[in-house]
Amino acid sequence: MGLEYEGTSYHGFALQPNLRTVQGALEEALRRVLGHDVRVTAAGRTDSGVHARGQVVSFSTEARLPDAAIARAVNTFLPCDIVAADSVEVSQGFDARRCALRRSYRYTIWRGQRRDVWQRRFSTHVPDPLDVDAMRAAAERLTGQHDFTSFIGHASQQRAGGSPVRRVTTAEWSIDGSLLHFDCAADAFARHMVRNMVGTLLSVGRRRRSPDGMREILWARDRRVAGPTAPARGLTLMSVDYENQESHS
Amino acid sequence: MGLEYEGTSYHGFALQPNLRTVQGALEEALRRVLGHDVRVTAAGRTDSGVHARGQVVSFSTEARLPDAAIARAVNTFLPCDIVAADSVEVSQGFDARRCALRRSYRYTIWRGQRRDVWQRRFSTHVPDPLDVDAMRAAAERLTGQHDFTSFIGHASQQRAGGSPVRRVTTAEWSIDGSLLHFDCAADAFARHMVRNMVGTLLSVGRRRRSPDGMREILWARDRRVAGPTAPARGLTLMSVDYENQESHS
């Protein structure tokens, strides 16, 4: 099932006791449609305040409903800030998380002098002058397969216990009027990875670091040498790619 | 002072005891900047849930601050859903409401089959097929100087006690992807007037009324013959025009 949501009023995607989460709202809506308890798996476990335009979730059900009917029915029970885009039956072994080949995120910055009423939930306000060319050069140095320890929160590494190596296939800045977008795609992301990259790239834009400094940061494998974590509200999960499938977005 | 705001969390512009209003938030911010109580006058007293991109307010102060400094300072005290765009000193007799020559509003409809997470605060969802050509023809019949009694709420007429005659200079529909905009400008608007026009034009779009029916509705001077009031969230005050001035937007 493809899913869009505004993350502003949620404590992230993943279920947490006594907190409002996207997973909680979705599983409750699915329970009402399918008539049984449902546990969903998401391609990207977005953090508190992070949005999604192309989240993908998978779940098992014995209910016999036409593919698209599930999304339509679920939408009548979902809150106004979550919407199911589509639903399709997949093979038994499919898992939205494990089978995902690539996740694409976009981080948006509002560069106007004044804070903006309309973009405030979906962007971070950076009124300072930014050297976008330097930010582009720095971003380029993050593409490829690297040990991203310097861009991953300690807690995340301890919890996950997995490899900090990721393959970043896209890391590009684009200008759209007073908005500045950072598009980043990788096989997978660790927690806060995009936001830590953005915080570091912004310090390059402010000329506090050089683009070449990115390599040293990667080599250091130390979270303390990279920049701060950019705020969640600027981040959106745009799409997830699977084998033999078009991009879900 | 030019003002933008998202009206979602306000009980309209005009001050009301014990309710959150745009005027209340603005006057409190101005009081903190100017050091004395301030009473503002707005060009358009937007209703609960209605937004503004080009609201204009006037007020008197003895404070000696550079023109633009007032807007900048006020923005540090305003909540995140209200922003002052600019501020400029005007002559003693200027009144943002009485001196306004023209107000321009935009009403936005989301036509996608699914409700939309991103447009939901700023549009009304109408998934039914709409005959936009008929809506355009009907809108054209509303332009010019007319008695708009049929499009004005009873309470508003009783309260105001003024004339129900207005001169509508623009009443146009435009298509923007899955969005449909109704741009309407007039010398002045009575309460709910744009929203009642939109509700009636939508019934034309659904082929429940003919474009020519607009004339009969105007002639009837009876609120009961026109269509329902469209929801507030689709409406935005776009700009206000004054003599010898560029449009404030």
Give per-residue pLDDT as tens, A142-173.
999 999 999 997 665 555 568 899 999 999 99
Q: Which residues pair with A13 in a beta bridge?
A: none
Task: Provide the shortest C-alpha distance from residue B19 to chain A (in Å).
Answer: 21
Please write down the HEC assignment for all residues of chain B: CEEEECHHHCCCCCCCCCCCCHHHHHHHHHHHHHCCCCCCEECCCCCCCCEEEEEEEECCCCCCCCHHHHHHHHHCCCCCCEEEEECCCCCCCCCCCCCCCEEEEEEEEECCCCCCCCCCCCCEECCCCCCHHHHHHHHHCCCEEEECHHHCCHHHHHHHCCCCEEEEEEEEEEEECCEEEEEEEECCCCCCHHHHHHHHHHHHHCCCCCCCHHHHHHHHCCHHHCCCCCCHHHEEEEEEECCCCCCEC
**Which residue is catalytic, options B37, B47, B67, B133?**
B47
Minimum CA–CA partner of B82 in chain A: A117
Q: Does A86 touch chain B (CB under 8 A)?
A: no
Task: Provide the shortest C-alpha distance from residue B80 to chain A (in Å).
Answer: 7
Minimum CA–CA partner of B85 in chain A: A114
**pLDDT on residue B123:** 98
How far is Cα B185 from Cα B174, in angstroms, rounded to an integer? 14
* Substitution target from A117, A124, A178 for chain B, most B beta carbons within 10 A: A117
Task: Provide the shortest C-alpha distance from residue B121 to chain A (in Å).
Answer: 10
* Substitution target from B78, B117, B120 for chain A, most A beta carbons within 10 A: B117
Asked about B47 being catalytic, the answer comes back as yes
| Residue B159 confidence (pLDDT) above 60 | no
pTM of the model: 0.91
Looking at per-residue pLDDT, the higher value among B183 and A159 belongs to: B183
Q: Does B64 touch chain A (CB under 8 A)?
A: no
Task: Provide the shortest C-alpha distance from residue A215 to chain B (in Å).
Answer: 37
**pLDDT on residue A160:** 57
Q: Are A81 and A8 in contact (CB under 8 A)?
A: yes
Q: Which residues pair with B183 in a beta bridge?
A: B106, B172
Integer angstrom CA distances of residue B134 from A4, B85, B202:
34, 37, 10
Q: Does A118 touch chain B (CB under 8 A)?
A: yes
**pLDDT on residue B245:** 66
How far is Cα B61 from Cα B72, in angstroms, rounded to an integer? 16
The encoded tokens of residue A144 equal 């490829």
Tell the residue number behind the tokens 């049984």, with chain if given: A36
ipTM above 0.90, yes or no: no
How far is Cα B75 from Cα A22, in angstroms, rounded to an integer? 33
How confident is the model over B52-94, as pLDDT tens digits? 999 999 999 998 889 889 999 999 999 999 999 999 999 989 9
Q: Does A28 touch chain B (CB under 8 A)?
A: no
**Average pLDDT, whole number, for chain A?**
94
Looking at per-residue pLDDT, the higher value among A154 and A203 belongs to: A203
| Residue B44 confidence (pLDDT) above 80 | yes
Asked whether the beta carbons of residue B4 and residue A83 sit closer than 8 angstroms, the reply is no
Asked whether the beta carbons of residue B117 and residue A6 sit closer than 8 angstroms, the reply is yes
Task: Provide the shortest C-alpha distance from residue B92 to chain A (in Å).
Answer: 28
Out of A75, A115, A118, closest to residue B115 by CB: A75
Contacts of B117 in chain A (CB under 8 A): 4-6, 80-83
Q: Does B118 touch chain A (CB under 8 A)?
A: yes
Q: Does A110 touch chain B (CB under 8 A)?
A: no
| Residue B15 confidence (pLDDT) above 70 | yes
β A41-42/A2-5 pair status:
unpaired
**Which residue is catalytic, options A37, A47, A81, A86?**
A47
| Residue B162 confidence (pLDDT) above 90 | no
Which residues are within 8 A (CB) of A158 and not within 5 positions of it... i.e. 6 or more apart? none
**pLDDT on residue A68:** 87
Q: Where would I find the H helices in chain A? A: 22-34, 67-75, 132-140, 154-160, 193-205, 213-220
